[in-house]
Amino acid sequence: MRKALGLAAFAAVLACGEANAQQVNVKIGVLSDMSSLYADIGGPGSVAAAKMAIADFTKDNPNVKVEMIAGDHQNKPDIGSQIANQWYDVDKVDMIIDVPNSGVALAVSQVANQKNKVFIVSGAAASDLTGPKCNANTIHWTYDTWMLANGTGTAIVKTGGDTWFFLTSDYAFGHALERDTIAAVEKAGGKVLGKVRHPLNTNDFSSFLLQAKSSKAKVIGLANAGGDTINSIKQAAEFGIVKGGQSLAGLLVFASDVAALGLPTAQGLILTETWYWDMNDTNRAWTKRWQQERQGKWPTMIHAGVYAGVLHYLKAAVALKGSVSDGKTVVAQMKSMPTDDPLFGKGTIRADGRKIHPAYLLEVKKPEESKHPGDFYKVRATIPTEEAFRPLKEGNCPLVSG
Amino acid sequence: MLAPRFGGDRMFEIFGIPSTALFGQLLIGLINGSFYALLSLGLAVIFGMLNIINFSHGAQYMMGAFTAYLILKYSGLGYWPALIIAPIIVGFTGIIVERLFLQRLYKLDHLYGLLLTFGLALIFEGVARNYFGSAGLPYTVPESLRGGQNLGFMFLPNYRAWVIAASLVICIGTWFVIERTRLGAYLRAATENPTLVRAFGINVPRMITLTYGFGVSLAAFAGVMAAPIYNVSPQMGSELIIVVFAVVVIGGMGSILGAIVTGFGLGVVEGLTKVFFPEASNTVIFVIMAIVLLVRPAGLFGRRA
């Protein structure tokens, strides 16, 4: 009897051991803009962040084997969905992450849905990804246009900037950012006097800036990104826009953009982000590691989002014992588990796929206030988690309304 | 409120735009046109004299801006010295490219030169992206050209006034040298019949090499001019070069005067499009190109079909 019990116990131990150490194999694809205007806000930096997440996770979970590939969507929705199709079908990729450029992200989100795989958005901004275009296979991690609009737009109207003129990038992202900011501005009691839509990758903004100037709006909202934002701000300084009493609102500005502008040109600019490298010791330590691969660069919130997104995905994969072939189940698992990572802290993923965490209203420092390289911002306000993102019921996401 | 202010005094309107605002936009168009003119001038010189379609022109423009940045960073020399030094350095790299590669292609079809220079452009851009990233590098307007003038109908930054003046001087100077001087006559003769010109004791290959170097340094000069106002990034040239090629095609391949006039003219057309229908501002030049090619296949100033 004793012997039988002992055997049973031994068998149980074996079974448990096997369950714990069950081999988990997943394949992750980092799809980003590797060679054009968004390559510094995502691109190779996102690949580095994903690698760090994989290294950190597999160190503690040696039974997890993660393969990673990377690709360049060249900011073209057709190329993006073509790569996504091939990765999901041929290369057996389980999860795609990053995808800056909302046009491409919306296309990839559809592919992920059709193939029932997982898509975690870090780079793209359009709030439609968790709004009318949401689906059960997509999670939007880092930020979105509603959060940017709400953070920067509301804060500026409250401090007296109540008339607005928009310079808007003429594609999905710009339209979404403009729409969400107009809503935020009008809700806070402001008025929109005009807008102009410029093509992506515009070199010269002087014509648009003159139109903005003649509108006499107090605030010129820049609903664009990357090189377009840099050019707008650089030329606004040249045309004396700020000296003439109008102020600029950078609705989507990254640390890399501030580095490209230099503090003398960028100082005083108000912006919203969900993560800043110089905010606390954990972020600084992470940045130091990240910079081993990306020397002389500063990580953006998109890179932080890729790191955190990969970690959470791997946790879900382990919880599901490695059966990750059904994308909807994996995403449901990710939504049911609270998130907890060193960069964004504790948080949750809502039913519509929106990951929620606090946002920060930042102001670019004056050159003399900056103490060390990369010391770009002072934090003006923290927008708490429950206010930072669009309320669940206002998004018109079919997953929520049923 | 008697003092005229921008957009303030609506004397008369054109399609709903106050006339004063329109003057401003015309001037802005001319300024942008001066960049097109400078770049297409270099292209026209290279095509006209060497029969090479220089697709690396955009990359060489980018190299001009980057060299200005590096000069500032490593030697502390500002904008004015860079305006001279950067074109010389980049022009010298052009000479190396010509000696090593291009001179072997003159006898072949245009397509080979195009492919080679396109490949080089990708390499130059890739190297810049690898070392500097894609977001861009900071470069500011020189102290002496900050601020601007209030012209009544618009605020004209001093730097833009300088851009238009410098560009006009360079364009007219280049046109004069090539079309009206003995040196220019040698050059044009060497394109028509190199053997005969060589028989007169003129070192044709060296002249061609220097001409390519000059065309490249024009691109670099435009790059330095652009650095304070446009984002200095590896892709700054590739964004612009397509438009500049359209300008050259409209003006007539290889026509110096055509390149200059169309450069300024299309700047104005594009500027006006930005007011009336901004979404089309990056396509309008190509629409014009299509129409011109249908009506005059050799371009507006082309010498022969």
Give the tens place of pLDDT for each residue, B239-296. 789 899 999 999 998 889 999 999 999 999 998 898 888 888 889 999 999 999 999 9
B121 found inside a domain? yes
Give the tens place of pLDDT for each residue, B189-227. 988 888 899 998 999 999 999 999 999 999 999 999 999
Average pLDDT over residues A355-383: 94
Does residue A394 register a pLDDT over 60?
Answer: yes
pLDDT for the residue numbered B153: 79
Of A37, A213, A231, the CB nearest to B230: A231
Q: For the complex shown, is ipTM > 0.85?
A: no
Average pLDDT over residues A40-56: 95
Weakest-pLDDT range from A84-88, A250-254, B21-25, B160-164: B21-25
Residue B152, helix vs strand vs coil: coil
Q: Which residues of A touch B275 (CB under 8 A)?
A: 207, 211
Average pLDDT over residues A334-338: 96
CB pairs under 8 A between A and B: 122
Interface test with A, best of B66, B127, B233, B283 (most A CBs within 10 A): B233
Q: Do domains A22-143+279-353 and A146-273+359-386 have the same CATH topology?
A: yes
Cβ–Cβ < 8 Å for A308, A344: yes
Average pLDDT over residues A343-347: 94
Q: Which residues of A touch B145 (CB under 8 A)?
A: none
Average pLDDT over residues A253-259: 92
Dig out the tokens for A394 from the structure: 């206002």
Rounded to whole angstroms, the Cα distance separating A269 from A257 reads 12
Q: Which residues, listed in sequence order, are joined to residue A167 by a DSSP beta bridge? A: A196, A222
Average pLDDT over residues A373-389: 93
How long is chain A? 402
Interface test with B, best of A206, A293, A364 (most B CBs within 10 A): A206
Does residue B76 register a pLDDT over 50?
Answer: yes
What's the gap in Å between the CA of A360 and the closest CA on chain B? Answer: 22
Domain residue extents for chain A: 22-143+279-353, 146-273+359-386
DSSP labels for B95-145?
A: HHHHHHTGGGTTTS-HHHHHHHHHHHHHHHHHHHHHHH-SS-B-----GGG
Give the tens place of pLDDT for each residue, A99-123. 999 999 999 999 999 999 999 999 9
The fold of the A22-143+279-353 domain, in CATH, is: Rossmann fold (3.40.50)
* pTM across the whole model: 0.84
B4 found inside a domain? no
Rounded to whole angstroms, the Cα distance separating A226 from A256 reads 9
CATH number listed for the domain at residues A146-273+359-386:
3.40.50.2300
B205 found inside a domain? yes
Contact assignment for A199 to B25 by CB distance below 8 Å? no
Rounded to whole angstroms, the Cα distance separating A355 from A271 reads 20
pLDDT for the residue numbered B304: 56
CATH number, domain of B249, equals 1.10.3470
Rounded to whole angstroms, the Cα distance separating A288 from A285 reads 5
pLDDT for the residue numbered B14: 65
Give the tens place of pLDDT for each residue, B128-186. 988 888 888 999 999 999 888 888 778 889 999 999 999 999 999 999 999 999 999 99
B49 found inside a domain? yes
pLDDT for the residue numbered B73: 93
Weakest-pLDDT range from A84-88, A173-177, A201-205, B73-77: A201-205
pLDDT for the residue numbered A70: 97
Task: Provide the mean pLDDT of chain A.
Answer: 92
pLDDT for the residue numbered B80: 96
Give the tens place of pLDDT for each residue, A26-43. 999 999 999 887 888 999
Cβ-based neighbours of B75, under 8 Å, separated by 6 or more: none
Number of domains in chain B: 1
Does residue B9 register a pLDDT over 50?
Answer: no
Residue numbers of the domain that contains B213: 22-131+157-295
Contact assignment for A202 to B281 by CB distance below 8 Å? yes
B216 found inside a domain? yes
pLDDT for the residue numbered A187: 94
